[in-house]
Structure 1
Amino acid sequence: MFQCYPWLVVPKVRWDLTTSRVLTMDFVEGGQINDLEYINKNGLDRFEIADKLGKLYSRMIFIYGFVHSDPHPGNILLKKAEDGSCEIVLLDHGLYATLSKDLRVEYSQLWLSILNKDKQGMKTHSRNLGIEGDIYGLFACMISGRTWDSLMEGITRKKPSLKEKKIMQDILPTVLPKINEILECVNRQMILIFKTNDLMRGIEYTLNTSNRMASFKVMSCCCIRSVYGDKMDKARSIIDKLKIVATQYWLLFKINIYYAFLTINEVYRNTVSRNLCLYTQN
């Protein structure tokens, strides 16, 4: 399933030492993914770590619908590869969420609606996941971990800030009853996704990589592949399939161009800001 990621390490099962009650796997050394001292000591790149983890979980959730649902730091180790890059070791495979195809596609479409600031799309796909009425906005905020204002401005361009975090903390007590209502109504498979999302955000917060734009690019591409893969399965004619493939690759091309533009723009702004600081100091 994940042979395309040579940096992913899953300990092999030792069947000769495994019984119906005891699962024995290879011992793998490494440091916990939130161990900043280990990361710095081994010269590992925090952004490379976050990008690889994001790729892994985007593929799990949006492409395969088979998700390791306990990604706390004790279950994710880091190793330094021979070429100096990082390897990710995934442990404890006792809790997996198996997402139905319908949920996986709806969840992908909901994320695309969030990334595109599409309120009607958010409402439609939230309803298909069990959320009725105006609380779809809060549902979208819970999934993205951002405020509604940020969603409407565009989370691919507006980075999280301390001010936004403070706003979310301040309004939490007032929306808690609505959050409980959402958890009561939502498709049960979504509960493990919520848990997984929260654990992933906690890791990114510790690594101080929450502001990276690359995570949205990977997620967008996986969502598009999920949605158009479903369309392809339902297509009946060769012409329809060719149109779907062409549309999918056109969207992927536009995403790559868009995020390349954002990256160049960010580098330019950082360079200008740094030069202004140097000019002011001189």
Structure 2
Amino acid sequence: MLIDSHAHVSPVWYEPVETLLGQMARHGVARAVLTQMIGQVDNRYQADCVRAHPGRFASVVWIDPAAPDAPQVLASLADEGAAGVRLRPGARSPGDDPLAIWKAAQACGLPVSCVGNAEAFCAPAFAELLQAVPGLTVVLEHLGDTSKPMESEADGELRYTVLRLCRFDNVILKVPGLGELVPRASTALRDGPTFGGAAAALLEAAIAAFGAPRLMWGSDFPVVSSREGYGNALGLVRECLLDHAAPVREAILGGTARRVFWKET
């Protein structure tokens, strides 16, 4: 079962869910995790999508973590069927416990889809956070960085440094389309996209560090349409996994997301 762990839909920005469903049908993707856009605290559209297409979607919501009632809001969203919450690594709660929102996610059994950059993920404060909520699954988006290509040696070093977070059992990585990791080759439009080299090496390093059960593929739809496109985001990752055993491919391309966001084995 192919599952896209990172897609955005909206009636007012990007694309509606019907456009995503078309891409999923074309490329054989069975399910997708609807990941709320940063700053959009109205999660009703995603909830409607989940209800309208039973079994096909999971909703990862966005809330304002600085709101005094954020833990209560999150609990209500969990009761209504939310499958996760999206937070920045530096998100903190007001009041006596700055980690209240993270602890609320842990108490609700909601994984956190964590959006940030490599610098934030490598900071001591983030390691301290992970230690404070060992029962919380934290899924780092974009292989632990923003959706920008590695354009310098320093960029690559930072991405590899993020992989050291494999020492925390509660950390999982989202594997993006490889076109997100490296700039488009000058020959890509003539000869077709290929993202070997640095992108493939980083993917292999992530597999070696975390293991396939802690990796999940996500397209970043519809942003991926401005890079290699949905089909290539899936196809080129699958191509890089051809030399791996079937359980590795199955975990990265669906099994991990199914376990984390649908609580299925």
For normalisation by structure 2, the TM-score amounts to: 0.28
Structure richer in helix, relative to its length: 1
